[in-house]
A and B are shown apart, each in its own frame.
Chain A
Amino acid sequence: MIRRRLAQALPIILIILVGNFLLLRLAPGDAVDAYVAGLGGGADAGQIAELRARWGLDRLVWEQLALYLWRTVTLDLGISYIYNQPVGLLILERLPATLLLMFSGICFAFSLGLTLGIAAARRAGTWADTALVAFALVAYAMPGFWLGLMMIVIFSVKLAWLPLGGLDTLGAGLTGIARVLDVARHLVMPTIAVSFIYLAIYLRLMRAGMLEIYGLDFVRTARAKGLTEGRIAWRHVARNALLPMVTMLGLQFSALFGGSVVVESVFSLPGIGRLAYDSVVARDLNTLLGIIFVSTIVVILVNLVTDLLYARLDPRIAS
């Protein structure tokens, strides 16, 4: 299966790359316009023409596209116009922050959503269930950046409990456990901001799945066997309700990549999302396409893992 899926991925990657290249070319203005505007004036026509030639932007579109595809085949992502650095290096610099944020966000949303979803389903119809469902609705409706800023105001500005931005304390020079704790403290608020909406989705999904499965015959059988309610909930119902959760997990992974842009800006985290945003503003085609290339591959891999996990959870799919 893995080989077949990987073979399917190749045309997908090609379509995404060509599509994005052309889409980005449709945006008004190019990297030189953005650069020269950012200089604040004083550039002359000669300098501008020279820049366009040096950055290869004076060539025909199909020529640029062919060059770009060839470079990608050789895994050369080119040089970033904004930073004048190899794109591969830039992405490697930024990837850890984003992966850390995504990983902690998914763990937080998944584990808490799962637990609260089960809790709500087991108490369906009670005030506790109603309260949890209402909480999920509020969490779902709250935009990440707003939640982030509000948390900053409360926990950093007013209470001074948590640092308000960055990945670590500047110039603290911490190592070992102290550094891990420092980074963890910096990640508390961004994690919540990036994952609250998914927490709500997981909660609702788990609750609905549990309730549906509670009505099935095998649960009645389990009850008739004399199993405890706790065992039924965890071993029989929850495991079956997990399938849609895993689907969601795969989807969330792709969405988080994009959703981290805003949260990374609010918390000044040096992540991929912000790099992507800066690249769009600067029309930095190389960097943006590099990011899209890397995220395409990450998402395809995650989907593959999701499918494998699926097969493990539900033996019917494997066969």
Chain B
Amino acid sequence: MVELGNLETFMVLSRRSLLASSAALALAPRLAHAQAPRRGGVLRVAADSEYRNWNPAIAANNGVFLVARKVIEPLFDLGADGKTLVPVLATGWTPSQDGKTHSFTLRGGVKWHDGRDFGSGDVAFSALELWRKLQNFGRDVFRNLEAVDTPDATTAVFRFAQPIPAQLLAAALAPLANVVPRHVYEGTDLQNNPANISLIGTGPFRFGEYRRGEFFRLARNPAYWGEGQPLLDGIVYRVMPDKGAVAAALEAGELELATFGGVSIEDMQRLGKLPSLEVVAHGYEALPYVSILEFNFARPELQNPKVRQAIAHALNPQAAVDTIFLGLAKPAVGPIPTTDPVFHTSQLPGYPFDPRRAEALLDEAGYRKGADGMRFALKIVPAPFFEQTRRIGDMMRQSLRQVGIDASIQNTDLAGYFAAVYRERNFDLTSGVYAYRQDPAISTTVLYGSGTPAGVPFSNQRGYASPEMDGLLREAAAQLDADKRIALYRRFQELAMTDLPLIPFVEFPLVSVASRRLRGHHDNPRWAVTSWGSTWLAA
């Protein structure tokens, strides 16, 4: 099996044995109301965002995946344990010793929704023209991809100019390696191809209808290769911008599911007590968000490590977990969340909540309280992506004022936040957020390394530059051996928590609210963005 942690054996689990083992796991706690899966029914899901491009081979984004990954399939998906890869369009993977050649065996007999045969040419085209050139994240992971050889219809050999660690590739394949039909895209304007909306894939559901501002409808693919799948007749995503209305629709039985925190925390608490609904906090283990507090090193005060440590001591993550997240979160211990089964380590320097220690450190750093009880002023810019990060901003402001830092809040919307933090560096502190993506090299290290051009989202635009950190990250990026990579990234976590260029504050899943009629759900660490082929609705 392809283990993200240990890549010595590359035999992918057969689909049947994997299904059997995960089915056993999933059934264990549910035996009480075990039922035979029912076919039929349309699942109604809340969606809060719409996109200009719904093609997951171009836009790697969970909001896109929520819809598109039912239609368009990846080479592999992540298994229920969060470590193994489950074969989807690929059935096997053999990397070469030098890490430059990765050979994939593809599933035979698969048909596109328009009736044409799926083959290695589609994989080669998707990889070279879309993932490598157009896709966010893909442009980084596949930047050294030189060619994809297709000796026959079920073999695709990826050739890289520079070695790429199999471990990194494995983590990238589940979200990024989404295959679209070559015959639909070749020779067209890829960004404006109509199939970016009227999706054509190989998945259990096919595109039905999209009415902007209203709904996105998917219908069963009767010719799906997966035996007995899908169980649902269709899925309707209703575009509902108001969270209060989503909560009411769930309560009234007009929706069966809201994912990715589509319901406000207060409503969630109330809905969870209803007999018809359940609040689901699992099934997001591989989609964790980490709330972070970033320091702008342009401020001389914040260049002082003692000040940064003092701020860490002044904050109380447990209080945020209890009040803002109602317990459905954990204080973060480092840049890699505890839900990561491979890289995370908790043997890291910590900064427990201790306002007195914070004050002592600030005094030591030479910032004594003035006549008004304040030492210096800081401007906090909270990320507008989630209501939680805004509230953390308010909480930070209170905590900092208690230790004599005159903190103020500057609220912005999405574009304003982005311009202020990643382009114009017009902030002192953020109440930010970042998504961890299974391998620290995908979205974590970019928060710590230096030299990223201005304007790159979710990167280090704070002026933190440490030769030691940069050296370590370079060494880790070049390392092909899985175990040595893990060791290097553990050292990275230590250095990150010693230097403290940003404070990982709370790690949180984005919770779902689901009807109790919904079955076969949240049984995968990336469930919301998987195919939902085995999901069904009880009568």
Contact = CB atoms under 8 A, between A and B. Distances in A.
A81 to B, nearest CB: 7
B232 to A, nearest CB: 14
Contacts of B215: 166, 170
B399 interface: no
Interface string A258-292: 00000001111011001101101111000000000
A191 to B, nearest CB: 16
Interface string A102-129: 0000000000000000000000000000
A301 interface: no
Contact of B248 (A33, A82, A94, A164): A164
A172 B381 CA distance: 46
- Which of A37, A153, A282 counts the most B-chain CB atoms under 10 A from its CB? A37
A77 interface: no
A34 B211 contact: no
A41 B443 contact: yes
B94 interface: no
Given A38-B414, A270-B212, A30 B419 contact: yes
A119 B74 CA distance: 68
A265 B110 CA distance: 41
B4 to A, nearest CB: 19
A48 interface: yes
A165 B435 contact: no
A274 B212 CA distance: 11
Contact of A43 (B192, B213, B457): B457
Contacts, number: 177
A27 interface: yes
Contacts of A156: 248, 252, 254
B456 A84 contact: no
B214 A270 contact: yes
A37 B418 contact: yes
A274 B61 contact: no
B262 to A, nearest CB: 13
Interface residues on B, range: 35 or more
B212 A93 contact: yes
B5 interface: no
A281 B412 CA distance: 10
Contacts of B217: 170-171
Contacts of A34: 414-415, 418
B211 A84 contact: no
Interface string B408-420: 0000111111111
B182 interface: no
A43 B418 contact: no
Nearest to B209: A171
B212 A83 contact: yes
Contacts of B443: 41-42
Interface size class of A (residues with CB under 8 A): 35 or more
Most A CB within 10 A of own CB, among B62, B254, B442:
B254
A266 B252 contact: no
Contact of B61 (A33, A39, A45): A39
Given A41-B434, A157-B252, A33 B423 contact: yes
Nearest to B137: A42
Interface in A8-47: 27-31, 33-47
A44 B456 contact: yes
Nearest to B46: A268
B341 interface: no
Given A29-B419, A281-B414, A170 B238 contact: yes
Contacts of B245: 149, 152, 164-165, 265-268
A84 B53 contact: yes
Given A28-B412, A160-B252, A268 B244 contact: no
B56 to A, nearest CB: 12
A167 interface: yes
B252 A84 contact: no
Contact of B456 (A45, A90, A265): A45
Contact of A282 (B60, B415, B456): B415
A42 B439 CA distance: 13
A27 B414 CA distance: 11
B415 A30 contact: yes
B192 A84 contact: yes
Contact of A39 (B50, B59, B140): B59
Interface in A57-94: 80-85, 90, 93-94
Given A37-B457, A40-B63, A164-B245, 20 more contacts: A28-B419, A29-B419, A30-B415, A33-B419, A39-B59, A40-B61, A41-B136, A41-B435, A45-B454, A80-B52, A84-B192, A152-B244, A152-B245, A157-B248, A157-B252, A163-B254, A164-B254, A167-B214, A171-B42, A266-B244
22 contacts: A29-B416, A33-B414, A35-B52, A37-B385, A37-B415, A37-B417, A40-B458, A41-B457, A41-B458, A42-B60, A42-B136, A42-B442, A47-B134, A47-B136, A93-B212, A149-B244, A167-B214, A170-B236, A270-B212, A274-B213, A277-B241, A282-B414
Interface of B: 42, 44, 49-53, 59-63, 134-140, 191-192, 196, 211-215, 217, 236, 238-242, 244-245, 248-249, 251-252, 254, 385, 412-420, 423, 434-435, 442-443, 452-458
Interface of A: 27-31, 33-48, 80-85, 90, 93-94, 149, 152-153, 156-157, 160, 163-167, 170-171, 265-268, 270-271, 274-275, 277-278, 280-283
